[in-house]
Amino acid sequence: MNQGGEIKVWDPLVRLVHWSLVAAFAVVYLTGEEESILHIWSGYAVGVLVALRVLWGFVGTRYARFADFVYRPATVFAYAKDFLRAAPRRYIGPNPLGGAMVIALLLSLAGATLSGLWLYGAEENKGPAAPLASPSSPAPMPTATTRGNKMNTMTTGACWAKSTSFSPISRCCSWCCTSPASF
């Protein structure tokens, strides 16, 4: 606590990661249909920032740690009930619903990043997932044989994960979602 009775909740690293995530997410979202180098590197940035935030959630400052703002589901539901009655308890840092949202966003961003890495490896044979996802790998995974048709289980799963994630960045690539029949 400092002079004015203020409590500094968010440390500089949390602020930097959060605002960098906003910027990287915006670039990924706005360049999503282009598959440009900017889209790819912004996606990598999102992945690194999510990993950094998760690490900081375990070893960071008091209010940055997940232990400080991630609650049991019963506590989250009780808080939601109190919130709807306009009588929620006050918290320093995220309340139980806010903590649940942090986890949902981190999982969503991680899922979108991992599916993007997988699709980049499978389609372009590039990126860190290329050895695992490309048809030329020692244990090849089958890839899509035609545009939007006969997709393999892994690529379909990655595309589905991107299209059903919690965040608006989770748009599926156009080649695999041309029609519901492609799934």
- Give the burial string for 32-48 (b: 16+ CB within 10 Å, else e): beebeeebbebbbbbbe
Tell me the pTM.
0.70
DSSP string, 57-86: HHHS-GGGSHHHH---HHHHHHHHHHHHTT
Span 88-133, pLDDT tens digits: 999 988 999 999 999 999 999 999 999 999 988 888 888 888 888 7
3-state secondary structure at position 16: helix
Token duo for residue 15: 């602020």
Tens-digit pLDDT profile for residues 150-161: 232 333 343 444
pLDDT digits (tens, 9 = 90+) for 131-177: 887 665 454 444 433 333 223 233 334 344 433 443 333 333 332 33
How far, in Å, CA of 75 to CA of 57, rounded? Answer: 20
